[in-house]
A and B are shown apart, each in its own frame.
Chain A
Amino acid sequence: MNPKLRASYSVLDSWSKGRYEECTMFYFKLRSFTSIQMADGKDYHELWRKHVLKTKTLPHEFGSRPLVDPKVELKLEVSLGDWIDLVGVIDLYDDGIIADYKTGKKNSSEYVETMQLPVYGLLAKLSDMKVNVGKIFHYDQYEKRSDQSMLWLTKKTSKEALEWVKTNGAQMHEYFLNEGLYEKFGNRVPTRIDEEVEEA
């Protein structure tokens, strides 16, 4: 029986941009690389995660607005067929809104152009979550400025996300099979969905 591809947005995105080697390295965890910027980003994510859990409000950088019933670092996994699972971790979910935090120089409106929010929206909807909107909360830690962008998660975005995931996933899966990479490196160990979602 063929192994199942466990596709996340990041690996699919690398593949879709033709960064096949990077995608393969990342998927099979053959190489890890953390830049200063990535480390910075991780630190901020952790800071914001703790803030939301403690205060039930958005981080100060994003307006401190009260949240309804926030969930942080929500790990989701859905099967899209006998050959592919879609997996992901949503930074923040609250009252129909899924949100992802970003740091660095790139404006939130650029991230809204990617497939990330549509894919997360698809993941959430297939997990029977109420989802209307995706948001990118961006903080430029160098200029100490933030901005936010919003994407309506509609049937159209879900359909496009599904097509994108399956198209890129199929190509990746075929490549991994043909090159014998699953046997060579072992597939990602399926992890049980963490049902103990951290609730504030």
Chain B
Amino acid sequence: MKVVIDTDQITLLKDKADKIFFDPKGEDVIIELYELQAQIEEAIKQAKLKIETEGLKLDPEFSSIKSDRIKIMYRSYGSRYKIDQSRINELDKSLYKTKTTYVPDVKAIDSYIESNDGKIPLGIESPDRIKQVSIKIKDDESEVKS
């Protein structure tokens, strides 16, 4: 597989990205950028596979390699231990922590506000939320999310 990255092309596409506001064909620009992204992601995926294969050949126990600007780690992810909830009562309390999470009930809060002249209940905050652009591309039956 050959990946050719034309950085001038990328700059051009980036600058034309707002074309979609003026012409439905403006979507071509966005799609081309995403196709380039997909190619690069595939190249990175292949590079990781190569690093894993060759790394294990050189050193079956390699865990990480670090250089001036990069650290490559080969490790498992996720929690090292899990709790068997069915046996929680048998487990020594010193071996686990209990976490309480409070989640706002959006419908209940909206209902309260409507019933109380627009007042937000004490203890509930309405944080400023910054708007962001997200892009979804439909490719036949699949979707690529931004």
Contacts and interface: CB of A to CB of B under 8 A. Distances in A.
Interface stretch (B56-64, B123-131, B134-142): B56-64
Contact of A148 (B59, B66, B71, B75): B59
Interface in A143-163: 146-152, 154, 156-157
B116 interface: no
B67 A149 contact: no
Interface residues of B, number: 13
B61 A109 contact: no
A152 B67 contact: yes
B67 A109 contact: no
A167 B64 CA distance: 28
Contacts of B63: 107-109, 138, 147-149
B73 interface: yes
Nearest to B62: A148
Chain B CB within 10 Å, residue with most, of A63, A107, A148, A156: A148
Interface in A123-181: 138, 146-152, 154, 156-157
Contacts of A147: 61-63
Interface string B42-78: 0000000000000000011111111110010101000
Interface residues of A, number: 17
Nearest to B68: A156
Nearest to A108: B63
A150 B75 contact: no
Contacts of B62: 147-150
A107 B59 CA distance: 16
B66 A108 contact: no
Given A107-B75, A109-B73, A109-B75, A63 B67 contact: no
A150 B66 CA distance: 6
Contacts of A149: 62-66
Contacts of B61: 62-63, 146-148
Given A107-B75, A109-B73, A152 B64 contact: no
A112 interface: yes
A112 B64 contact: yes
A84 to B, nearest CB: 26
A81 B60 CA distance: 42
Chain B CB within 10 Å, residue with most, of A62, A147, A151, A152: A147
A157 B64 contact: no
A108 B61 CA distance: 10
A112 to B, nearest CB: 5
24 contacts: A63-B60, A63-B61, A107-B63, A108-B64, A109-B64, A109-B73, A112-B71, A138-B63, A146-B61, A147-B63, A148-B61, A148-B62, A149-B62, A149-B63, A149-B64, A149-B65, A149-B66, A150-B59, A150-B66, A151-B66, A152-B66, A154-B67, A156-B68, A157-B68
Given A63-B61, A149-B66, 13 more contacts: A62-B61, A63-B59, A112-B66, A147-B61, A147-B63, A148-B62, A149-B62, A149-B64, A150-B64, A150-B66, A152-B65, A152-B67, A152-B68
